[in-house]
Amino acid sequence: MFTGIVQEVGKIAEIEPVKSSMRMRILAPQLDFTDVILGDSIAVSGPCLTVTGFESGQFEVDVSAETLARTTLGERKIGDKVNLEKALRFNDRLGGHLVSGHIDGVGKIKSREVLDEYIRFVVHIPSELSKYLAFKGSVSLDGVSLTVNDAGKDEFEVLTIPHTLDNTTLGESETGSTINVEVDLVARYLDRLIESSADNVDSTISLSTLERAGLLE
């Protein structure tokens, strides 16, 4: 579990194809590895990945075929920058919102508008994700926790502050760029709960049904 508060912008140093998956080595000289052990999770521009090796200032992760197919990591090249966040501990502050590191879809930046020191992004998303986005709700873009300013049928808008632009990869994101989207975790589970409840409701109402319920005499 993560918060969507980026701890460092790292750089991809090596990419090694491994059959249908790949191994990635990431430089992160400012990331604190004193509390990291093999098998820990680090979010790399959104997706939760398992640390398979590390030393001072760098670490390695394996990226599965599923993750490559459902995120932008398969498009990454050596030298690309990535947002990094270590997994949340129970005694940590929740500065952003609860982020699972499980990407729901890949969006595309439809427009990028500079407003004073801020940047307004409009992101096009698969239409099936739109039901999870609401005005003033939360969304994660490339692992960054953001507030939804507006939501439509297949797009939404966020406004990024200078600190976010300076300390994440969003400051360099351009119109046409693809981006990892994770919707709000609570919204996803509420939708599933509503679906399950609806499946268990008998929509066929007859006179005998009402009589058995004591609603008819």
pLDDT at 215 over 60: no
Which pLDDT does position 139 carry in this prediction? 97
- pLDDT at residue 200 greater than cutoff 80: no
Angle at 147 between CA 119 and CA 3, to 5 degrees: 110
The candidate with the shortest Cα–Cα distance to 16, out of 72, 60, 66, 67, is 60
Give me the pLDDT at residue 158, please. Answer: 98
Q: DSSP secondary structure string, the chain? A: -B-S---EEEEEEEEEEETTEEEEEEE-TTS--TT--TT-EEEESSSEEEEEEEETTEEEEEE-HHHHHHSSGGG--TT-EEEEEEPPPTTS---S--B-S---EEEEEEEEEEETTEEEEEEE--GGGGGG--TT-EEEETTEEEEEEEE-SSEEEEEE-HHHHHHSGGGG--TT-EEEEEE-HHHHHHHHHHHHHHHTS-----HHHHHHTT---
pLDDT of residue 203: 54
Asked if residue 207 has pLDDT above 70, the reply is no
Q: In the predicted model, what is the mean pLDDT of the chain?
A: 91
Cα–Cα distance for residue pair 6/165, rounded to 1 Å = 11
Contact in structure between 111 and 151 (CB atoms under 8 Å): no
pLDDT tens-place string over residues 34-74: 999 999 999 999 999 999 999 989 999 999 999 999 999 99
Q: Give the CA count within 13 Å in the CB-facing half-sphere of 167.
A: 13
Q: What is the pLDDT confidence band of residue 94, given thresholds at 50, 70 and 90?
A: confident
Q: Which residues does residue 60 pair with via DSSP β-bridges, in sequence order?
A: 25, 53
Q: What is the mean pLDDT of residues 171-182?
A: 97
Average pLDDT over residues 143-163: 96
Percent of the chain scoring above 70 in pLDDT? 90
The whole-angstrom distance between residue 81's C-alpha and the CA centroid of its chain comes to 16
How far apart CA 132 and CA 173 sit, in angstroms, is: 23
Mean pLDDT of 171-181: 97
pLDDT of amino acid 186 = 86
pLDDT surpasses 90 at 3: yes
Instruction: Report pTM.
Output: 0.87
Task: List the domains of the chain with CATH numbers.
Answer: 8-86 (2.40.30.20), 105-199 (2.40.30.20)
